[in-house]
Structure 1
Amino acid sequence: MDTATQAVTVAVHDGATVVAEQAHDDTRRHTELLAPTISDVLREAGLRPRDLSAIAVGVGPGPFTGLRVGVVTARTMGLALGIPVHGVCSLDAIAHAVLAAGQQQRFLVASDARRKEVYWAAYDVTEQGVRRTDGPDVARAVDLPAHLRGLPTAGRGVDLYPEALPHALPQRDVSAGALATFVTGALRRGETLLDPQPLYLRRPDAVPQAERKPATPVTS
C-alpha cells in the first residue's frame, strides 16, 4: 500500500503476480479511502487479512498527513496479524513502475512536495533493474541542476512545473502492484528493505503554536 502521493493505492501479490489492485486519486481523503480499499482488494483476491504473509508500504517522502496514514495502517496491521512490514521509498516505487513500462535510459522521479517544491530522485536503468543514483531530496523544480531537469521525468512534478520538467513520462503516482512486485523480488534475492518509518525530508506544514506568555505577571 502507499499513500505518499496523490493516490491511495493497494494491491495483493501472491509471490508470482499481482492478483488484485485498486487506486483512488484523491489528495484529501487518504484516511477515509485506505481501509475500504484494503477490504475491497482483499475481497477481490478472495482473501482475508489473516491470509497475508507480509505487508509492504511506501514510506515517502510525501506530504506529512497523507504519508502517515499508510505507514500507521501498515504497522498496525502487521502488529495485529503478527507478520513483517517492509518499507519502500515511494519514489523508488514509482521508478519500478517506470521500468516495468519499458523505460531504457536514465530518468527522474519528481512528486508534489507542496510549497512549490518537488520530492525528487534520479535513476539509472541497468541489467539488474533500476538503481537510484541521486536523492531523495526536496527542492524547487526550477532549482534542480540542468542535467536533471533534462531527463525523462515521472511523477506529478511534470504536471505542476512543465517549464522546468518538460520531458514527461506517463507514470504519475505509486502503483501498489509495482511496489509489491519489487518487494517480492527483493525478498527473494535476500535484500534488506527499509523499516516502516516515514521518510521525512523537512518539517511538517502544521506545527504546534508556541505557548503565549501572559501579558501581566501571574501572582498567587
Structure 2
Amino acid sequence: MLLLAVDTATPAVTVALHDGTSVVAQESQVDARRHGELLLPAVDRVLSAAGLKLDAVTGVVVGVGPGPYTGLRVGLVTAATFGSALGVPVHGLCSLDGLAYAAGLDGPFVVATDARRKEVYWARYDDARTRVTEPAVDRPAEIAERVAGLPVVGAGAVLYPEAFPDARGPEHQSAAALAALAAEKLAAGGSVESGAFLPPVPLYLRRPDAQVPKNYKVVTPK
C-alpha cells in the first residue's frame, strides 16, 4: 500500500505519503490564496523525499471539506486526476476528521475551522475517530452554548476565543493525519458503502461567493 493524501480545504496546502504502516514523507504550507500554485510542486517534493515515483501510488486520499469553494476544488480535482491517470481508487474523507484524528483526544470535543464571513465549519466528536454530528457552518456565537465546556480543535478556536475558550491543537490540517486515518479504515475493510469513506466530491455547505449578477442580460445571436 502506498497512499498519496492531499487536502486543500483549509489555508493549509498539505500532502503526505503513507505506506500502510507509517508516514513516509509529508509537507504542509499555510497560504489561503495559492492552493493551485502550491499543491503540485508539494506533491513532487514529497515523492522526491521518499525516493518514489507517482506510479508507485496505490490509492489517493483527499479531504472533501467542508471548505471554501476555490481552495477546496483544487485538491479534489488534483486527486481525481491522479486517480484516473494511475487507475487507482480515490478515497474521500471529511477534512474535519483529519484534524480530529491528529488531535488524538479521548473524550468529547469539537473541531472548528475558518469558514470566513465570521463563520466556522464545525463538527462534534466523541473521540479522535468518532464524529457524532454532520459538518455544519455557523457563527461562533450561535453554537457557543451548545459546545460550552468542550475543547475545540482548529483555527476556529484560535480566531474566536470568546466563543471557544478551550482551544487545542493542531490549528491546521495535516495530510499525514488524513492518510493515517485512511490507512486504518482501509486495513479494517472500510469503503464508501460501509460509511468509512465519502465520495470524492466537494462538501461546500454553502453557495460559492462568485455568482452571476442579478438582471444579467443574455445576448444571443440573431
TM-score normalised by the chain length of structure 2: 0.90
Does residue 7 of the first structure (1) align with residue 12 of the second (2)? yes
**1:191 partner letter:** G
Against the structure 1 CA distance between its residues 211 and 79, is the aligned structure 2 distance closer, same or farther, given a 3 Å change threshold? farther
Structure 1: gaps spanning 5 or more residues:
215-219
Q: Residue 173 of structure 2 aligns with which residue?
A: 174
Count of equivalent residues: 209
Against the structure 1 CA distance between its residues 208 and 106, is the aligned structure 2 distance closer, same or farther, given a 3 Å change threshold? same
Does residue 77 of the first structure (1) align with residue 76 of the second (2)? no
Residues 14-93 of structure 1 mapped to structure 2, 5 A cutoff:
14-93=19-98
Q: Residue 194 of structure 2 aligns with which residue?
A: none
Q: Could you tell me whether the CA contact under 8 Å between 2:99 and 2:111 is conserved in 1?
A: yes
Residues 1-220 of structure 1 mapped to structure 2, 5 A cutoff:
1-99=6-104, 103-125=105-127, 130-192=129-191, 193-213=197-217
Residue 211 of structure 1 and its aligned partner are, at CA, apart by: 4.8
**1:97 partner letter:** A
Q: Which has the larger radius of gyration?
A: 1
Runs of 4+ in 1 over 3 A off after TM superposition: 210-214
Report SS of the residue matched to 1:15. Answer: coil
Residue 213 of structure 1 and its aligned partner are, at CA, apart by: 4.6
Distance 1:212 1:154 in 2: 42
Of 147-156 and 7-16, more deviation after overlay is shown by 147-156
Percent identical:
52
CA-atom RMSD, angstroms?
Answer: 1.4
- Deviation track 1:31-67 (CA, whole Å, cap 9, x = no partner) reads 1000000000000011111010000000000011000
- Deviation track 1:96-142 (CA, whole Å, cap 9, x = no partner) reads 1011xxx22111000001111000000012xxx62111231000011
Against the structure 1 CA distance between its residues 48 and 213, is the aligned structure 2 distance closer, same or farther, given a 3 Å change threshold? closer
Distance 2:132 2:198 in 1: 17
